[in-house]
Structure 1
């Protein structure tokens, strides 16, 4: 086994066949920057290459799973775009490795998970959520396009109308609502949340490895190509939308609104 990589924005551990990838930017709610998503991709590549790893578990450090795209980070935006090519290219590769993986992918949503934190759930095999988790996708509000194959997976999992309520209407949903709709496998108590998810992961990883891998391949055999195609299509349109005048204007309005709300909170504390 190769040494566990030490990354600035991702904490990695391995025990009993379970590789845990913890998003580690708690000071900004684990928001996604280029260095952050590059570290997540590096963590996945490492875990994917280890024969000892049977399960890859993603979760977040702190109160948030992830707050989504970090629109204030200079690595994310670029000249004439609200999402840089570096970010989009890395996201494309991350989705591909998740789709093609024969490991069991588990997501433990420890807190709020807007944007990619919501859409990426459908690329996992199992999703466990804390009761305090909140899910929504502000793509239309920001003038951009959905990603993580959610334009395909959401309709298949929860039906067109519920998918539209997330992707088009930008409605917020609770962990219990998404459990009822099938996007969340199970809501677990907040107390000892990660420990309880790890127990499930250790049990899965202890099963006969060849049978585990074979059955994962069988589960994915009819959907992999569709998801890979959806990934390419979504990111093509996301790249175009990120360069549009509409998106740049919408993001400016969003950032101004966020700044105003932050100022109001600061003044209320004085």
Structure 2
């Protein structure tokens, strides 16, 4: 009788453990099984501009507007913010951001802006949507890696100063054409770029629109390592899978030790940048620069 009771208790314990395991799987947000090797992918209805994959202890966020060169619409800004928030809480050791197609990102989708918008309207959209997006990078609690598969423009470049590792294809280029558009640096680049590459080079990039090759960006410290495009995916994922075997909590706490000392400063810089952007949105030179851009684009 005692042996029977013990067997019954063991059976119940096994059932409860199985139920807890299944419950834990369902708690991983927006992830369903569809990838090989037990990978879990977001239901396509969850995101319209992204694909999120959890595999090998890595959460991969893929920007998926290849027809727009992965330009960041307001919807994409919001979805990346949500995806980062979820990735920060899931079981992954690290998170990767990359682009689908030939571009990493062509930056802010200029169709987000209206030249007739008032300063208050621009401040509301920029401050509440784009700044929230940037703050998710500042506050991200785990190692965050950018796999720059192609050209990175505007905020597609400036956001790299807030990630922990930047691996680039040798076909990648980096450009911040703010002055040409009557705009100003964002994503804390007015602080991170001078710190990373020095004041003179940062000025050349942020103010005078210098385009950097992948190797130039690596020499300046913006990019961690450059790989031949033909082997980019294979070589980078080999590294990342090895990193993802490290103890999750140890890795996260080490990243926080390195980064957290500057979080308050970064948030202050972010606020100042977007205050200036909102204030200058309705300025005459900004409006003229955007109008000229769209006129040139229409002629192509």
Q: Deviations over 1:174-225 (max 9, x none)?
A: 0000100000000011013223222222222210122111211110132111
**Is the alpha carbon distance of 1:140 and 1:234 closer, same or farther for their aligned partners in structure 2, counting shifts above 3 Å?**
same
**Is the alpha carbon distance of 1:77 and 1:40 closer, same or farther for their aligned partners in structure 2, counting shifts above 3 Å?**
farther
Q: How many residue pairs are counted as aligned between the two chains?
A: 258
Matched, 1:180 2:219: yes
**Is the alpha carbon distance of 1:196 and 1:87 closer, same or farther for their aligned partners in structure 2, counting shifts above 3 Å?**
farther
1:59 to 60, 82, 98: 98
CA contact (8 A) 1:81 1:244 kept: no
Q: TM-score, normalization: structure 1?
A: 0.91
Q: Which sections of structure 2, spanning at least 5 residues, go unmatched?
A: 1-27, 32-41
Aligned counterpart, 2:292: 253
Q: Deviations over 1:154-179 (max 9, x none)?
A: 00010000000101111111000010
Matched, 1:101 2:140: yes
Stretch deviating more after TM superposition (196-205 or 40-49): 196-205
Q: Deviations over 1:117-148 (max 9, x none)?
A: 11011110000111111111111111111100
Listed as ranges, the matches of 1:63-102 within 5 Å are 63-71=102-110, 73=111, 75-77=112-114, 79-80=116-117, 84=122, 85-102=124-141
Matched, 1:37 2:37: no
Measured after TM superposition, the shift of residue 87 of structure 1 is 4.4
Listed as ranges, the matches of 1:114-133 within 5 Å are 114-133=153-172
Structure exhibiting the larger radius of gyration computed from Cα positions:
2
**Is the alpha carbon distance of 1:76 and 1:201 closer, same or farther for their aligned partners in structure 2, counting shifts above 3 Å?**
farther
Measured after TM superposition, the shift of residue 86 of structure 1 is 2.6
CA distance in 2, matches of 1:14, 1:195: 17
Aligned counterpart, 2:234: 195
CA distance in 1, matches of 2:250, 2:190: 31
1:111 to 147, 150, 156: 150
CA contact (8 A) 1:33 1:87 kept: no
CA distance in 1, matches of 2:30, 2:76: 20
CA contact (8 A) 1:30 1:65 kept: yes
User: Over aligned residues, Cα RMSD in angstroms?
Assistant: 1.7
Q: Deviations over 1:244-267 (max 9, x none)?
A: 12111110011112222x1xxxxx
* SS of residue in 2 equivalent to 1:132: coil
Q: TM-score, normalization: structure 2?
A: 0.82
CA contact (8 A) 1:99 1:224 kept: yes
